[in-house]
Structure 1
């Protein structure tokens, strides 16, 4: 019996955010993107290549790539060459009301998938640094203006209303803040604890924007960008470390120190 290899696709991203797919299987007439969580489907005809245009709506989430192979049915597509150079340090137009990101990536088992984000407004992380007892963050805000009362909130995950705020500075879309660790550990850290970081461009009581990093070619940042853990209090009873969540959002993890 002849075993027919699975379809394989190379893909290239363009400066406008579109993605072109080139499939090596002559049986394939179209690619089907299927949302892994909702089952929503999007069909892209191969003529001869498939193009996911910038204007084509793609809900936030992970999309598996399938090939319509006619009588052989739909088949999972193997990931080939992914040319993502145009995604490196992408800079959307500052006036943009929304930031749409699509990143092709190799999923488990070698299958091709697309990660999609759609955020309005969006607070993009730039440089993360460290000073004594604190972390510093620089970034850029898209789709909203930064007011004089802007603050960052470190929200205790799982406990609504438990927040620590620090002032934010910046102009022309850029923002920066310093987040000391000691206030986050003031109540004592007895188990692994998380603080999620939100930007409030117009100050306390205004709308909140989740701080994240999505404007590059990395679909899954967690586990790739690893930062050093630093003492979170003068007594050395806890440590703090910034990290990216599975959604590429920026958070802080606090851990008790044994002994």
Structure 2
């Protein structure tokens, strides 16, 4: 379609992105031309990032988002402001080379981990999914077995110490457990096996089934690096998949329990966080 602006995206191993555009034939770009990123759902000027957009060969324009530029966690829409006095124009996705993001292994002691993955929205426009976390627990290999879920991963921005453990937290409110108003959500904890910054744990399914309160229950997975430390969400961010909930699936297995047979299995949330869904037996209708 005439007038379309497409951006090719190239990733580097540090997490930076380069955007290459073909300039429209009638474009007269100026020094103020910029690639504009706007955080979805927020109109504030503080949630807009402008990257200089300059010539890069005949008829081509380039903007660079270095890994050192922090983007708030969320979804950012991409626009081109050619400095011609018009409103910035939405960009369409071009050809992506995101191979350096696959198997990316940042320094374990990094304070905050920034991840940006370009993708096409449901309307076909270019956007970035951004995460900014510190510390961060990166999920690696996941083994689904009848007795439970085994997760291996790596901790960034913190070192496991005494009292380190994994926690599964029910997403339901404490009131659903019959707990006092000040109590936290139902939680199942298991110890970590640690080697340096790498960790492994196995979460028994039967413990989750024993705490079932009805329906399909999601349990979020966290890692507490040490006794008294702030818990860290376990997620899979270091690859080129912006939406694992749609792209990655694991089997849900039957788990026998006193209340009947449950179905339990892991999944990734909308934010690529790791969770477990516990589906209990159907309860007979009243009366």
Q: Structure 2: how far apart are the matches of 1:181 and 1:189?
A: 15
Deviations 1:167-216 (A, max 9, x none): 1111210000000111111134520111000101103x331000000011
* Structure 1 residue 207 corresponds to structure 2 residue 207: no
Which segments of 5 or more consecutive residues in structure 1 lack a partner in the other structure?
Answer: none
SS class of match (1:223): helix
**Please, what TM-score do these two structures have when normalized by structure 1?**
0.93
- Aligned CA RMSD, in angstroms, stands at 1.7
Deviating more after overlay: 24-33 vs 148-157: 24-33
Task: Write the mapping of 1:183-198 to structure 2, written as runs, cut at 5 A.
Answer: 183-198=207-222
The 8 Å contact of residues 146 and 254 in structure 2, kept in 1 or not, is answered as no
Q: 1:98 aligns with which of 106, 112, 122?
A: 112
Deviation at 1:108, TM superposition (A): 1.3
**Please, what TM-score do these two structures have when normalized by structure 2?**
0.84
Task: Give the corresponding residue for 1:128.
Answer: 142
The 8 Å contact of residues 134 and 181 in structure 1, kept in 2 or not, is answered as yes
Task: Give the corresponding residue for 2:37.
Answer: 33
SS class of match (1:109): coil
* Structure 1 residue 230 corresponds to structure 2 residue 237: no
Task: Give the corresponding residue for 1:176.
Answer: 200
Q: Cα 1:148–1:233, aligned 2, differ >3 Å: closer, same or farther? A: farther
Q: Structure 2: how far apart are the matches of 1:77 and 1:188?
A: 46
The 8 Å contact of residues 82 and 105 in structure 1, kept in 2 or not, is answered as no
Task: Give the corresponding residue for 2:164.
Answer: 150
Task: Give the corresponding residue for 1:252.
Answer: 276
Q: Structure 2: how far apart are the matches of 1:156 and 1:188?
A: 9
Deviating more after overlay: 56-65 vs 17-26: 17-26
Q: Structure 2: how far apart are the matches of 1:188 and 1:12?
A: 46
The 8 Å contact of residues 189 and 238 in structure 1, kept in 2 or not, is answered as no
